[in-house]
């Protein structure tokens, strides 16, 4: 009995402390209609914590549509580029916040081989390479809501089945994406897949961030970036890795110490900057592939104080500085998105790994499921 009384007292104290500080004991999850795409009903799944962080996920593309985050002035803004209307994600696709699969990034010529058999994927990248799954990738599918729960950590689980031969990929693939949000500002995303025959899988999220707030007039090039990597994978004119791991030391690709993105993005003396029209490259993380998520990148907006840390179990991270945003897309709030208006940090296996034996393999076999766990960790530097 004494233990029960003590437990009740402790819980009452925790509740009082929570109410006094204005925070919630649990993060909340909810769902609302979001419209239709090609006649299919789409929903918005909303995860909210007591610290002012709110994530909205569309069942179309398992897309992270919005991420509200407070700054040091207490103002909460949406830090993700994207659209207000779900139909724009279908009619004007630009990978804003989507779940990318089966294979994130590029595969040269859309070709790869497994066990001596050649496969051809759609070439949807300037008619040269397969990009982000090619054809009708995971970002253009309607996902099923498996579960949605509030609790100490709010959770939304979405599922999709990709049939054998989908966009040229072998094997029936059963996929889930799990979004979680806790009271510390950790937005977790876990990708899981199992196949009935050998295939390749490389999934990630393609959120494009502006920590000053999407559509802010100064863009994101003043953000300060850190990437703990001694090397990156240089690319050819078609943005396919050459297979080399090139040291970053002495180059504009060295982000081992915090540095403004703007400081190197227009350095035309570096041929890699010319190839990518700026930064659009994969960094080989010093940590390699890990069992639990470890730091892949840290991004800070010095003005608002917002900080984003990206953690992953994967060995690489693609840093893309919105080089192909050309002002023709009208995003949230009627904002025109231009080059440098947002930054993507995409944890991944290396691009074109199926054709580069020296890179960590993206092969997935029956009985050996695929798993990638990543975290977007938000905080405020005051």
What residues are annotated to the active site?
Answer: 206, 346
Q: Is the dihedral of CA 132, 136, 140, 146 positive or negative?
A: negative
- The closest of 168, 172, 61, 164 to 109, measured between CA atoms, is 168
Judge whether 375 and 295 are in contact, CB under 8 Å.
no
Q: Is residue 13 classed exposed, middle or buried when 0-12, 13-18 and 19+ CB atoms within 10 A define those classes?
A: exposed
Q: Is residue 22 classed exposed, middle or buried when 0-12, 13-18 and 19+ CB atoms within 10 A define those classes?
A: exposed
Alpha carbon distances (Å) from 133 to 69, 202, 315, 320, 329: 30, 9, 19, 18, 22
CA distance 183 to 85: 28
CA distance 335 to 131: 26
Judge whether 300 and 79 are in contact, CB under 8 Å.
no
CA distance 144 to 52: 27
């Amino acid at each position: 009995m004494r233990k029960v009384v003590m437990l009740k007292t402790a819980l009452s104290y925790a509740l009082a402390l929570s109410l006094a500080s204005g925070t919630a004991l649990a993060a909340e999850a909810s769902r609302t209609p979001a419209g239709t795409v090609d006649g299919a009903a789409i929903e918005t799944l909303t995860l909210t914590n007591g610290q002012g962080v709110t994530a909205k996920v569309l069942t179309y593309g398992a897309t992270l549509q919005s991420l509200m985050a407070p700054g040091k002035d207490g103002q909460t803004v949406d830090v993700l580029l994207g659209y207000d209307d779900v139909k724009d994600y279908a009619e004007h696709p630009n990978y804003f916040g989507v779940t990318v699969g089966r294979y994130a990034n590029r595969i040269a010529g859309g070709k790869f081989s497994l066990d001596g058999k050649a496969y051809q994927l759609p070439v949807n990248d300037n008619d040269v390479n397969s990009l982000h799954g090619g054809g009708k990738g995971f970002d253009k599918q309607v996902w099923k809501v498996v579960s949605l729960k509030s609790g100490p950590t709010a959770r939304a689980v979405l599922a999709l089945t990709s049939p054998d031969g989908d966009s040229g990929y072998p094997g029936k693939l059963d996929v889930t994406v799990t979004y979680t949000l806790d009271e510390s500002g950790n937005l977790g995303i876990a990708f899981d897949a199992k196949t009935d025959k050998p295939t390749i899988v490389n999934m990630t999220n393609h959120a494009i961030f502006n920590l000053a707030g999407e559509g802010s007039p100064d863009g994101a090039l003043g953000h300060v970036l850190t990437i703990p990597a001694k090397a990156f994978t240089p690319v050819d004119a078609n943005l396919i890795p050459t297979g080399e791991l090139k040291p970053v030391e002495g180059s504009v690709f060295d982000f081992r110490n915090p540095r403004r993105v703007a400081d190197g993005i227009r350095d035309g003396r570096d041929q890699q900057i010319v190839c990518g029209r700026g930064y659009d490259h994969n960094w080989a993380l010093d940590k390699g592939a890990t069992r639990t998520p470890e730091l892949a990148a840290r991004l800070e907006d010095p003005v608002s104080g917002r900080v984003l840390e990206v953690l992953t179990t994967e060995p690489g991270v693609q840093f893309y500085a919105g080089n192909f945003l050309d002002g023709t897309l009208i995003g949230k709030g009627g904002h025109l998105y231009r080059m440098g208006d947002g930054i993507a940090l995409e944890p991944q296996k290396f691009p074109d790994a199926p054709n580069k034996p020296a890179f960590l393999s993206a092969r997935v076999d029956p009985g050996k499921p695929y798993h990638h766990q990543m975290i977007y960790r938000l905080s405020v530097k005051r």
